[in-house]
Structure 1
Amino acid sequence: MSKPMQTQFLLNEVSKFIHLTNGKVGQIVNELVDIILNKVKAKDTLFCRLFSEKLICGSYRDQIKINEPDEFDLNILLNLSKAKVVKNEKSHPGFVKVDLSAYKCDENFKSFLQRFTNRRCFLLVSNLQSWFESCISRVKIHNSVIELRSYKFYVKVRKAGPAHTISFETQEAASDPYLTTGFRFSVDLVPGIQFDRDDWPSEIAPDRDNYKWVAIPKPLNGSGNAEHLLFVPSYAVQESDIMLAKNSKKNALRLIKKIRDRNNIQNLKSYFIKTVFLWKSKRKGSKFWDRSIDVIVKKMLNMLRRRLKRRVLKFYWHRKFNMLDKFSPTQIDTMRMQIESAIRQFRSYRNTNMLFDLFLTDKEKEQLLARMQKRAK
């Protein structure tokens, strides 16, 4: 076997090891969230009126999670069909305001405007978040048990940023290789206002006419956003389509995420890694990802290193927004040095089983080698 094939073989083995598909958990999550949202709709008439649909987001939607899928992100989409978007490019590029002035003459929305907007009829992030938090609190699921199919789940709720995290622990389970008693998973529920292509805020044009996007009420710490008016655009559906591939793109992304976790590279968010892949997809097209997995991983690690060295990682949809601005130079340089160390290890460990050490813990490496030996018999 040639040397490049040897490295490629090792990386493919790691890829298979860390990519575990557990559709059963995803189905259970979908049903559990439906139970909770139905409770909310029964308790809150405004939520029942505004709720449109739920949208799975993040790594699970993109199929780039590593190891067991135990964290899920869902946008809870609210329908305000007359809402308009106002860009905020000068002071906060990449963020938008939601203008509800079109509802001024609508008597059915009079109390809503008084409760959720400022004097200029801009939707207030803090008020929307507080209301959604009260919606979840009113159904009293914290420290409760939800029964579903042949399972019982112990439920806990906590608030973190724009998300309301609902944690589940399997209390009783049928004979099941995935949902065993004690298995834990969590769901982040984030409210959002859904918009269609007519209000598309990005300079990158959508590929399809039916694309929609979501304005997320995410607080901005230390931004001077005293009125809490700024929403973050989210493009989950579009990004999922860009990541869609039958080549090595997703495997390479998972491998770099595993390098991040194995080497404890703090602050290097999964979305930062994904953003580097989005930019490469735009600039190089689909053929780039047809290369061997070892070439792709090497090139993407170097691209990530260059972005960290410049201390600039542009948001794919809004290039004026540098996603690294929230970190200090020291924090960014620490991430860069850790990636540089990973690149050196990747180069040194080529064609040897030591390459596993870059991605796997000792226990994981032992498990993978045992599987490989079993298959070889």
Structure 2
Amino acid sequence: MADLPPLNHQDAILQYISSNFVSVKESDKTFYKGHLEFVVTNLIKNMKDVDIFFCTMFQRDEVAGSFWDGLKIGKPVEFDKNFVLRLPRCFMNSIQFLPALPSFVLVNVKRGFADLQRSDKWEQYKGHPHYSSSGRAPPAGARPRRPLPGPSGRRPNLPRKIESWLDRDGNIISDKVRFWMESVIVRAVDSFPSYSNAGWSYKLSTRKAGPAMTVEVEINPGSRQFNIDIVPAFEFQPAAWPKHIRPYPKNIPDAVWHVVPKPIKPNESESGANRSNYGPDIQWRLSFHNQESYRIHDKFHLKAVLKLIKKMRDVKLDQDMLCSYAIKTVFLWEMDDHDDSFWQRGLSVTFLHMLNVLVKFLRSGNLPFYWQKEHNLLGKLKEVQRDQLFRTVQRIQNQIHHGLRNEDWLVIAREILTDEEFHQLEGSFDI
């Protein structure tokens, strides 16, 4: 970028783009967040009503995805939620995370389950597959330690339920947990397809979308709509951090991390480092949303530049070829090479720098998963797709550099905005 002229006008232009075409409007944020919270609260209640095991295992819903990180662009009509599930303590005490495909692990509870079977407690679990033989309704006047969701106060037989999710080696089968969660969501929505609250009405439906079950919500049907992508997750403390990946960052406070049952696509496990001796149905994707959120928080222009590149992607590229998480990963890697002052530079200088970093990753055809570099986030693409992606982004970069050398101060805007948005911006700047 040393051959480029001073970027006198670019920061103001990029700030205008960020404010008018990229950032989520506060009014939209407040509107959709309020409706989301009401729907999720009622959905969870209904899921507990239709499934005793969900009632027992559910801990809380936890945010995930770009909206909660402040990286959402446009209207906030898609939300990601992890429904965190609780494993019995006897399994947690001796759980093992075995390396599988890069960025995936096996969740093995063989030791804990064997210890339970050898204990006196097993007598109450080995009979009925759904309810334990203890924990019947307490005597009149007695106060139970926790609510008993089963009929007549009988506790769900959680160890037997989890046993049905295990393979013969004691690994929790991710597909079975995912299918079970999907069935609970569908049953809850089918049983309670509509809500109303304070003059608002909501109509719910479900559809399958990748690893998530999507709940589609119509507000005052025919008016506005938003979607909730729900994924089950197990959470663990930093003390259980897998030993075969990047160590827990020293500058990040202790925070839980998760595994989620993300299906493995065939082209993700066909070659090189992405080979595994384990079937895809027992592998769990590592998820470090809390750690990543902390890393990118309060880093001056980092989020604004990241969203500008996402905007460029949305306008110029196929979103399936360069997902939002891949773009965030580019920034995670670059943060390793700079202190916070780097992100205090002007928007235009930082944007051009990060565009160049992205081009370098795309040229190599390899964008390593930040937490385990053996996983190439571009590996799901065919070679011809990776080459096409690189050439498209390189062309955009070349167009921008050519325009700036010729003092075309609207060239970045032209490359990242729709025609309609560009004409609106053009009328706002006298350059």
**Structures share fold, TM-score greater than 0.5:** yes
- Equivalent residue for 2:102? 93
Q: How many residues align?
A: 362
Q: Provide the rounded CA distance (Å) in 2 between the counterparts of 1:344 and 1:77.
A: 45
Q: Provide the rounded CA distance (Å) in 2 between the counterparts of 1:366 and 1:153.
A: 37
- Equivalent residue for 1:268? 322
Q: Provide the rounded CA distance (Å) in 2 between the counterparts of 1:261 and 1:209.
A: 34
- Equivalent residue for 1:154? 203
Residue pair 2:96, 2:109 contacting (<8 A) in 1 also: no
- Equivalent residue for 2:216? 167
Q: Provide the rounded CA distance (Å) in 1 between the counterparts of 2:162 and 2:78.
A: 35
Mean CA deviation greater in 43-52 or 279-288: 279-288
Is 1:241 the counterpart of 2:288? The answer is no
414, 421, 425: which one pairs with 1:357?
414
Once the two structures are superposed, the pairs formed by residues 225-236 of structure 1 within 5 Å of their partners are: 225-226=278-279, 228-236=281-289
Deviations 1:304-329 (A, max 9, x none): 11111111111111112111111111
Change (3 A) 1:263 1:48: same
Residue pair 2:264, 2:280 contacting (<8 A) in 1 also: no
- Equivalent residue for 1:178? none
Deviations 1:66-96 (A, max 9, x none): 11111111111111143323231xx512211
Deviations 1:145-193 (A, max 9, x none): 3223321122221112210011122226xxxxxxxx6222111000011
Q: Provide the rounded CA distance (Å) in 1 between the counterparts of 2:169 and 2:6.
A: 65
Residue pair 2:66, 2:72 contacting (<8 A) in 1 also: yes
Amino acid at match of 1:213: W
The higher radius of gyration belongs to 2
TM-score (norm 1): 0.90
Q: Share of identical aligned residues, percent?
A: 28
Amino acid at match of 1:333: D
Q: Provide the rounded CA distance (Å) in 1 between the counterparts of 2:352 and 2:172.
A: 45
* Long gaps (5+) in structure 1: 173-180
TM-score (norm 2): 0.79
Residue pair 2:263, 2:280 contacting (<8 A) in 1 also: no
Residue pair 1:163, 1:188 contacting (<8 A) in 2 also: yes
Q: Provide the rounded CA distance (Å) in 2 between the counterparts of 1:85 and 1:31.
A: 37
Q: Provide the rounded CA distance (Å) in 2 between the counterparts of 1:209 and 1:16.
A: 32
Deviations 1:20-54 (A, max 9, x none): 23232123212211110110011111111111111
Deviations 1:335-370 (A, max 9, x none): 111110111222233352343221211222334456
Q: Provide the rounded CA distance (Å) in 2 between the counterparts of 1:316 and 1:233.
A: 11
- Equivalent residue for 2:238? 197
Amino acid at match of 1:95: F
74, 87, 112: which one pairs with 1:67?
74
Residue pair 1:259, 1:342 contacting (<8 A) in 2 also: no
- Equivalent residue for 1:145? 194
TM-fit CA distance, 1:143: 9.5
- Equivalent residue for 1:213? 257
Mean CA deviation greater in 241-250 or 38-47: 241-250
**Partner-residue secondary structure (3-state), 1:113:** helix
Is 1:344 the counterpart of 2:398? The answer is yes
**Partner-residue secondary structure (3-state), 1:295:** helix
- Equivalent residue for 2:10? 7
Q: Provide the rounded CA distance (Å) in 1 between the counterparts of 2:19 and 2:165.
A: 48
Q: Provide the rounded CA distance (Å) in 1 between the counterparts of 2:388 and 2:398.
A: 16
- Equivalent residue for 2:113? 103
Amino acid at match of 2:260: I
Q: Provide the rounded CA distance (Å) in 1 between the counterparts of 2:191 and 2:9.
A: 51
Residue pair 1:265, 1:338 contacting (<8 A) in 2 also: no
TM-align CA RMSD: 2.2
Q: Provide the rounded CA distance (Å) in 1 between the counterparts of 2:234 and 2:377.
A: 22
Q: Provide the rounded CA distance (Å) in 2 between the counterparts of 1:348 and 1:29.
A: 45
Residue pair 1:214, 1:235 contacting (<8 A) in 2 also: yes
**Partner-residue secondary structure (3-state), 1:228:** helix
**Partner-residue secondary structure (3-state), 1:139:** helix
**Partner-residue secondary structure (3-state), 1:97:** strand
